[in-house]
Amino acid sequence: MKVLLSAYACSPVGGSELGVGWDCACAVAEHHEVIVITRTVFQSLIEAELKRAPRKNLSFVYYDLPSYCRPFGIGDPDKPTQIYYVLWQRGIRRVARALLAKHDISIIHHVTFVKYWAPSFLATLPVPFVWGPVGGGECAPIRFWTGFSFRGKVYEFLRDAARWLQEHNPSVRRTARNAAVTLATSEQTAERVSRIGGRNVQVYAAIGMPEDEIALLDKSKAPDPAVFRFVSVGRLLHWKGFHLGIAAFAKAAIPNAEYWIVGDGPENHRLAALAESLGVGDKVKFWGLLPREEALRRLAQSDVLVHPSLHESGGGVCLEAMAARCPVICLNLGGPAVLASGGAGIVVDATDVTETERQLAEAMQRLSSDRALCKRMGETGQRNVNERYLWRSKAEHYSALYAQVLKAE
């Protein structure tokens, strides 16, 4: 069939949502003819990659807002804003209508951005519409705000307010109602989408992994048998919950253990000060921002990933850890809980700060004292990645979903 993908973020260079857009397009094109609408800012990167490695059944249409919008601060594709994103979504409706007139398109699938509280105007076109996976319904429980800086608390308040306002946006509600299927990255997002009128809402992760990267991580697996090493990887932001990980590590008091933190961000100094104040400054190593290959190497040199994020739709580093046979310790919030379920790690209840830190510490002690359990969880995680989260497998899932949607129409 012919599939029209909406991928605001789509690039062969870069991870996160850029990678989701690109990898999804390439994977689906193995089964169907795919036309992708994306931004002009990615054109040179995409065309260079297609020249290097041509993909059959895959073509791109590029769109950006007119240049006369720039004096108003919303028309620069290199510096997009939330307003830009919504207007871009509105603008590609005209592009999509022209494509529908030329091609016998069976399905329209919105891929990126992965957020439920922004509309897709493609949902109003006379073709079955698949929305997502979309996320953003996850939120940091207010009882955890006590550990945030003032800036972090303001961020959470504004985020919650913006999301509440957008849930009452008629265009967002129309998108939810018109979608034949909505894929949500977590139970929290699924609940919110259902609340605003979504039908046939299914929980399904947006992220995946290519097979060559899984093989690289597996091959690089080389923990130090003399040291039990925990690792956290990501931007050092308040909602990532690394302060909970450090506090739990101090409470666990595990002999011959280290805690590596890979990444940089505004919480860097606060986290370092916290480690010193808890007496583990000599055991917590801050590596800073590393090139991706080096960050993956640090992950493969570790025994357990600690990822206590308080609101995260995806959790790509959890998949990477699972591919590297590292068990995952995370909270029962958002995408990481979905990924780590099924024996790939330990999912801790997000009750309150004190209790959550205690449970995180217990999880650290349990895994560090039982390397056989650690090995079993690591192998389960890697098996789950190979069975569920390869882009090849995800493309097969999308193909089956498209067929179900068309059959129901």
Transcribe 366-409 into DSSP letters: HHHT-HHHHHHHHHHHHHHIIIIIBHHHHHHHHHHHHHHHHHH-
What local confidence, expressed as pLDDT, does residue 380 receive? 94
| CATH number among 3.40.50.300, 1.10.3720.10, 3.40.50.2000, 3.40.1710.10, domain 211-388 | 3.40.50.2000
Contact at 8 Å (CB) between 129 and 122?
yes
Nearest to 368 by CA among 264, 266, 283, 287: 283
Q: Which pLDDT tens digits describe the chain residue by residue (409 residues)?
A: 999 999 999 999 877 788 899 999 999 999 999 999 999 989 999 999 999 999 989 999 999 887 766 655 555 556 667 788 888 999 999 999 999 999 999 999 999 998 999 999 999 999 999 998 999 998 889 999 988 889 999 999 999 998 999 999 999 999 999 999 999 998 899 999 999 999 899 999 888 888 877 877 877 777 778 899 999 999 999 999 999 999 999 999 999 999 999 999 999 999 999 999 999 999 999 999 988 888 888 888 899 999 999 988 888 899 999 999 999 999 998 889 888 888 899 999 998 899 999 999 999 999 999 999 999 999 999 999 988 889 989 999 999 999 999 988 7
What local confidence, expressed as pLDDT, does residue 70 receive? 62
Q: How many residues does the chain have?
A: 409
What local confidence, expressed as pLDDT, does residue 212 receive? 78
> Matching CATH topology for 2-208+390-408 and 211-388?
yes
- CATH topology assigned to domain 2-208+390-408: Rossmann fold (3.40.50)
What local confidence, expressed as pLDDT, does residue 220 receive? 72
- Domain ranges within the chain, ordered by starting residue: 2-208+390-408, 211-388
Contact at 8 Å (CB) between 166 and 118?
yes
What local confidence, expressed as pLDDT, does residue 180 receive? 96
Reading the block at residue 341, the tokens are 């379920």
What local confidence, expressed as pLDDT, does residue 218 receive? 74
> How many whole angstroms separate alpha carbon 307 and alpha carbon 313?
13
What local confidence, expressed as pLDDT, does residue 36 receive? 97
Alpha helices in 209-309 (DSSP H): 211-220, 242-252, 268-277, 292-300
> How many whole angstroms separate alpha carbon 359 and alpha carbon 376?
20
> How many whole angstroms separate alpha carbon 85 and alpha carbon 65?
10
